[in-house]
Amino acid sequence: MNIKVITGTPTNIENIQIVDVCTTTYTTQLNQKSLLQKVFGNKNDQSFTDGIEQLISIAQSSGGNIIFDIKVSTATAEFRNGIYLYTTLVATIGKE
Confidence class of residue 45 from pLDDT cuts 50, 70 and 90? low
- DSSP assignments along 33-56, one per residue: PPHHHHHH--TT---HHHHHHHHH
67 and 16 Cβ atoms separated by less than 8 Å? no
Tens digit of pLDDT for each residue in 46-82? 678 888 999 999 999 999 999 999 999 999 999 888 8
Confidence class of residue 85 from pLDDT cuts 50, 70 and 90? confident
